[in-house]
A and B are shown apart, each in its own frame.
Chain A
Amino acid sequence: MKPWMPFEWIAAIRFLREGRMQSLLIIVGVGVGVAVIVFMSALLAGLQSNLIKRTLSSQAHITLLPPEEVARPQVALDHTALRLQKQAQRLRSIDQWQQVRDRLQKWPEIAAVSPLASGPAFAVRGDANKSVTLVGIEPERYNQVISLAERITRGELRVGAGETVIGIELAKDLGADVGDKLRIATAAGASETLTITGLFDLGNKGVNARNVYVGLRTAQTLLNLVGGVSSIDLALHDLNLAEALAQRIAGETGLTADSWIKTNAQFVTALTSQTVSSNVIRFFIGLSVAFGIASVLVVSVIQRSKEIGILRAMGATQVQMRRIFLLQGGIVGFFGSIRMARRCS
């Protein structure tokens, strides 16, 4: 007996040691339960962060676009109802995008701001002709939003005048490689022949087949957007604030701001329901572990009825007796948890 140890602790530990097999079983039981909970949590957290990372590897956290053009209803003279047709959105520049860029750059929540000029085009090489998205970027800024430089599999990220970086899918489709020439033509009739300086793999087949990166100036010329940008990509410090921040930016700039949460609504819903169902499972595992401990306690109280009688006869209060058994539960739960938590981590 350790002299500092209270009577209840002494009795609880002795009883646990005496019923060694039972104590061991319950410790293992608690341990397995805790292990499953820890394992599930880790698995899910890892899975989700991986999924989000993949999704966002080719996507900005927030994309700013010019405000949608709305068709204004004209009052018909004969007061018959007119059907309002939504106007087709043409490629427009963001008004005073430099100011918007400089202003947003100062927001503490925003990690990077990258203006883009992008629009549809055709990539032509020999007989092959592919519909692509021409994306004009300022590489240093764009890299802070989407780590394109890290994703270059051949060549390098260089988009000076007359240079382009394309995805590995497109390169395969066109039979092109670094150093080859590629002609880019837009519907408006502008065209330019570019040299491929690098191939990228952003982990998304569609993007790898579609995106053609060029310098901002080249894209502006080809898309007839001289001096303008069609969108501004933002990277945030905290992914989860994207939607709230998008709404704030939309309110302050009058631009359309789409957060990744909104553009991937289904994906985010799936993640959320996955989290919910895992929480439910974890809750029930926790509950069954708790019930396990409780039932062992009940059994041990019954098994110890003789000892309880003796201790009561010797002046132990009800509170003391209750403490002895709760302590046993606590000790077993504690050791079961740390044993398995340690083994798992």
Chain B
Amino acid sequence: MTDPVLQLVGIRKCYGCGETESEILHGIDLHLARGEFAALIGPSGSGKSTLLNLIGLLDRPTGGQLFIDGQETGQLDDTGLTRLRGQRIGFVFQHHNLIPAFTALENVAMPLLVARGRPDAAMFSIAGDLLDQVGLAERKQYLANRLSGGQQQRVAIARALAMSPSLVLADEPTGNLDTHSADDVFALMREVNVRLRTTFLIVTHDPRLAQRCDRIIELIDGEIVSDQPHAVG
């Protein structure tokens, strides 16, 4: 595979390892190439969120190696991980994506603000453009908790793109949306993927949506049991 955005080699994770044998992930190997649009599926408790947290550098694996854009992450300290995360990875979660004390525009600009330290006009024009692209031009000055669930997820996607990341991790991004909004949000991610060649890894319980991805990775009890490319229908 050329131009790998993400490489996992024998990734293991256990919580409170030792006596209470509770290994959640038992040696995951995974590659994602630039521009891939992959679904991660599996039953509840199989370790999907755990895996996403590791890939997102929010947590450290117990064993194995993790490369982001070819860079090994095992040796990085917290500051190094944080910087890499901020620059290369965008997140969309199921709930509580946005900070309610800030407006939609400010939420989208937040990754830029965090990285640069002080607000400037450029970051708000980037954020404004992104909100235009996700169809929320009218809602820029709304406080985050005054937006509908679907709107919030769109803002979250816009925010995930603010730093032009290589990889967007989405953990059940359409989990609390109705079918119609879920389709919209999914279509938006797909459009970004096609237009910007941003790599997506999307956890979903919705087989219908999974079928619309390029690739479906299935995780059961901490092991990848199937990984198949899927023709886009």
Contact = CB atoms under 8 A, between A and B. Distances in A.
B101 A313 contact: no
B110 A314 contact: yes
Contact of A7 (B96, B99, B118): B118
Contact of B114 (A18, A307, A316): A316
Given A3-B119, A5-B119, A312 B110 contact: no
A138 to B, nearest CB: 74
B79 A14 contact: no
A314 B86 contact: yes
B101 A3 contact: no
Given A313-B91, A317-B79, A320-B114, 9 more contacts: A18-B100, A310-B97, A310-B98, A311-B99, A314-B110, A315-B83, A315-B86, A316-B114, A317-B82
A86 to B, nearest CB: 80
B118 A310 contact: no
A315 B87 contact: yes
B117 A7 contact: yes
A315 B78 contact: no
Given A1-B106, A307-B99, A310-B96, A315 B115 contact: yes
Interface in B114-136: 114-121
A315 B96 contact: no
B113 interface: yes
Interface of B: 56, 58, 78-79, 82-83, 85-87, 91, 96-102, 106, 110-111, 113-121, 159, 163
B140 to A, nearest CB: 13
B111 A314 contact: yes
A183 interface: no
5 contacts: A6-B118, A18-B100, A307-B99, A312-B58, A313-B91
A4 B118 contact: yes
B102 A14 contact: yes
A313 B114 contact: no
A15 B114 contact: no
B82 A315 contact: yes
A205 interface: no
Which among A1, A307, A315 has the highest number of chain B CB atoms within 10 Å? Answer: A315
A318 B96 CA distance: 20
Given A1-B106, A315-B83, A18 B111 contact: no
A317 B78 contact: yes
A306 B96 contact: yes
Contact of A311 (B114, B116, B117): B114
Interface string A188-226: 000000000000000000000000000000000000000
Contact of A312 (B82, B87, B106, B159): B82
B168 to A, nearest CB: 12
A321 B116 CA distance: 15
A53 interface: no
A317 B91 CA distance: 16
